[in-house]
Amino acid sequence: MKKELDRMRDMALFVQVAALGSLTRAAESTGVPASTLSRRISEFESQIGVKLLHRSTRRLALTDIGQRYLERITDVVDRARAISGELEEEMGRPTGHLRVCAPVDFNAYFPEAALADYCASHPGVRFELHCSAQLPDLATEPYDICIATTEPPQASRMVRRRIGMAEYQLYAAPAYLRAYGVPAHPAELTRHRCVVMPDSESGLALTDGNASAQVALAPLLVLNNQLAVENLLRDGLGIGPLTRGRADALVREGALAPVLPGWTLPPRPILALTASRALPARVRGFIDLLVARVVT
């Protein structure tokens, strides 16, 4: 029995090394030293009598039979991980290492307390959050899950789960509106100082029921961070988009006022991206928490 379990573990290590294309990256992902990984895979090759990897000082490459073997065992390893996660969940103690990649303005969509709550309810999980403006390739980078506010490339094999839809409206500080006037129609935005996200750099598409307007802009600032946009709007720099869930409290406080009420911007999906549909309990638990705590 022990021999079979060891072989299953070695299969999982091989899948990870093959997916990341590097012993160093696989070591970072698994927590197993690169020298141990190399030895375990060499022993695994000896046991099955097949050379799976070409090794050089610079890179690893699958042999032809290694590629075929990988295609056949990846689903097996994924299913084994899922079953292990289900057993952990039934026993009430998810464990392991959870690596999350999120946008730089992650806090604009999720309260910081959500992370503390996850850590408190999953004491056996080592949690790691990396914030980046770039969408990672989960096939080659050691993340269990990526939180995204843009759709992955069409050719991507990442599995997407919708956490929520961020609904945007335009806002400005009352001081700015007193100084520069309140626009009554989207066309008047061209005469205002606008602070926008990169997908609105060339213009804004607004709708109000059946009415729509496309407004070309020469924005004052383009930022890929909703929290930075929020701070600049509060400082009276101009007009810009924020999620309604984020802005509601600021409007109640009098820090911001809605601009063109009724006119909204296209909603943006908030997605949880994973490399596989089979997820261990620690990943499923994190996604469930995000769905419950998302601010849109």
Pairing of strands 145-148, 96-102: parallel
Dump pLDDT digits (tens) for 183-231: 999 999 999 999 998 888 888 999 998 899 999 988 899 998 999 999 9
If you average pLDDT over every residue of the chain, what do you get? 86
Give the per-residue pLDDT at 153.
78
Domains, the chain: 2-90 (1.10.10.10), 96-296 (3.40.190.290)
First to last CA, the chain: 50
How far CA 92 is from CA of 80, 85, 86, 126, 170, in Å, comes to 18, 10, 10, 16, 44
**Tell me, what DSSP letter sits at residue 293?**
H
Does position 151 have pLDDT exceeding 70, yes or no?
yes
Does position 161 have pLDDT exceeding 80, yes or no?
yes
Query: Confidence class of residue 127 from pLDDT cuts 50, 70 and 90?
Result: very high
Mean pLDDT of the 261-281 span: 89
- The CA distance from 165 to 228, in Å, is 20
Does position 1 have pLDDT exceeding 60, yes or no?
no
Dump pLDDT digits (tens) for 50-106: 888 887 656 788 888 888 888 888 877 777 777 766 665 555 578 889 999 999 889
Does position 5 have pLDDT exceeding 80, yes or no?
no
Give the per-residue pLDDT at 88.
59
